[in-house]
Structure 1
């Protein structure tokens, strides 16, 4: 049986094209999982460039964002443990391999445009940043919510905005919008004027305490500034001992002194059935129980008292 040569050539060409489409898929078109596996293979092979950043800059030196790296700490060759003092660009973006040969191999990309998941991106950062400040990262809400380090931090810049006291609140409230609304209420900590920052109380990398607080408890966090409320007191007010946030909203409130509700409504959440504490406040609010500071007209030492006759927190 005779077979035309043109048919044979066409069949070989089809086979070659099919094989190329399976084995040489452009890395831009790889799925997230396929990309991750390819990068793991590159790391295991460890084909780093002998010229380091010079190899990268042959193509990327005209990119202003890339060149801004050298203005920041990651782009300096001192201290000795900085990326630029070691594997340079490849310390974060992975082994060069054949990437510079027509972009045949992928590199680690960061940011919202990256196909790598947050955990894979963060693993690069955690390779160096594994000091005690990050010891609770894996159980932190940011990690569990798949927040990438670069969602908050900027590397290719002279100064990371999240490390600046005057801009860190803007970074945090870009996601925590409800906190931004609270900190602009009539009673709040001086966060809207950047005299106090989110990281004064919270550790964004996680902590051993609740709500990523720098201290183990809410009260210990508050006492760092409000030491006069710590006590010990001869006569204690149970909600104060238990949790400051029982009565106060630390991010802001429409009521004075960050109170969640106005007195006597706040007090009546616990004190409901002992005589005058449960009486209806007149509309004009001019009696001793509802006028002015309401309950605090008499019970002024609401956080505790050391007076021998202060069992009612009146003195």
Structure 2
């Protein structure tokens, strides 16, 4: 009886050995499907299912192999034959991106990628996109929801000065998640140096601030030239994202204003103006006005000139941007 049992066990072991040595395992002919990978890589499988990558695959598909390559040797001996990492540290960005381009080549969003600053600075797709998806995502979502950990933080990891600006008192609501960096910038490249979606800074601003576009009968040259003449788009310690407080900001250009503020001492300005024949300024055009006190009353150019983006008002009201 014992001999028969031993014989049966021996036969079973021989059958198992033959199966392992056979074509399925020994020759790695086993179909490599997503479900096979999921048996071990449960975490990656659970999150990738929430992206468009996962949504376009099924258990019998070969999604994993599309990026990671053949798993034949890995299946023969998973512990001994590790899968070669195509996205690990030290792998050149271009080599990583080549894997993504096997599917995404020709995407209209990537037309300026090669000439963009990201590609030129060794930024790869996987630096911004979490290929396996973001843990905790509630539903099947576009792949672009796979930013890590979220778009503002992800961009801020490299663009730290910009990130700091968004924390200033006056800022676009980026940290509140009401707008995103990619609302203005195309991270995949653009024709502008800072990768704006629009062709110019002003066109980009007007995509939201259309009421400032005009056209105006009387245009403010600084506004026509560049909104950034007065504003910092990422954040400022001054109201309305201004580069400086007023009237200082206005005086950067209008240093010859007839009244840059109200001054004590009966003088019209701190600087001697053309045609001033007073004792303090006669023959001293452009020099400091000795009769002016340094006590500047807190007046603001905008108290009168409040149509600063341009005006359609008639006469001098429009010419001097007085609403």
- Scaled by the length of structure 1, the TM-score of the pair is 0.71
**How much has 1:229 moved relative to structure 2?**
0.6
Q: Does 1:123 align with 2:98?
A: yes
Give, in whole Å, the separation in 2 of the partners of 1:85 and 1:200.
38
**How much has 1:282 moved relative to structure 2?**
6.5
Tell me whether 182-191 or 232-241 shows the greater mean CA deviation. 182-191
Q: Report the equivalent of 2:218.
A: 235
Give, in whole Å, the separation in 1 of the partners of 2:146 and 2:184.
16
Instruction: Return 5+ residue gaps in structure 2 as ranges.
Output: 1-27, 262-268, 271-291
Q: Report the equivalent of 1:188.
A: 171
Tell me whether 64-73 or 123-132 shows the greater mean CA deviation. 64-73
Q: Is the 8 A contact 1:153 1:162 kept in 2?
A: yes
Q: Report the equivalent of 1:155.
A: 131
In structure 2, which of residues 98, 111, 122 is the aligned counterpart of residue 146 of structure 1? 122
Q: Does 1:65 align with 2:43?
A: yes
In structure 2, which of residues 306, 316, 319 is the aligned counterpart of residue 300 of structure 1? 306
In structure 1, which of residues 160, 164, 167 is the aligned counterpart of residue 150 of structure 2? 167
Higher Cα Rg, which structure: 2
Q: Is the 8 A contact 1:301 1:313 kept in 2?
A: yes
Give, in whole Å, the separation in 2 of the partners of 1:301 and 1:214.
28
In structure 2, which of residues 62, 70, 83 is the aligned counterpart of residue 95 of structure 1? 70
Give, in whole Å, the separation in 1 of the partners of 2:122 and 2:233.
26
Alpha-carbon distance change, 144 to 282 in structure 1, aligned in 2, over 3 angstroms: farther
Q: Is the 8 A contact 2:51 2:146 kept in 1?
A: no
**Deviations 1:104-127, CA, capped at 9 Å, x for gaps:** 5853432xx433111100111122
Q: Report the equivalent of 2:190.
A: 207
**Deviations 1:36-73, CA, capped at 9 Å, x for gaps:** xxxxxxxxxxxx9762336962xx73334332333432
**Deviations 1:208-232, CA, capped at 9 Å, x for gaps:** 2341111111111110111111010
Q: Is the 8 A contact 1:236 1:303 kept in 2?
A: yes
Instruction: Return 5+ residue gaps in structure 1 as ranges.
Output: 1-47
**Deviations 1:143-176, CA, capped at 9 Å, x for gaps:** 1111121111112126489627993212211222
Q: Report the equivalent of 2:279.
A: none
Give, in whole Å, the separation in 2 of the partners of 1:104 and 1:172.
36
Q: Is the 8 A contact 2:131 2:146 kept in 1?
A: no
Q: Report the equivalent of 1:11.
A: none
Alpha-carbon distance change, 247 to 253 in structure 1, aligned in 2, over 3 angstroms: same
Q: Report the equivalent of 1:74.
A: 53
For the aligned residue pairs, the C-alpha RMSD in angstroms reads 3.0
Richer in helix (by share): 1
Give, in whole Å, the separation in 2 of the partners of 1:262 and 1:92.
53
Give, in whole Å, the separation in 1 of the partners of 2:294 and 2:207.
40
Give, in whole Å, the separation in 2 of the partners of 1:268 and 1:85.
69
Give, in whole Å, the separation in 2 of the partners of 1:238 and 1:295.
17
Q: Report the equivalent of 2:241.
A: 258
Alpha-carbon distance change, 282 to 125 in structure 1, aligned in 2, over 3 angstroms: farther
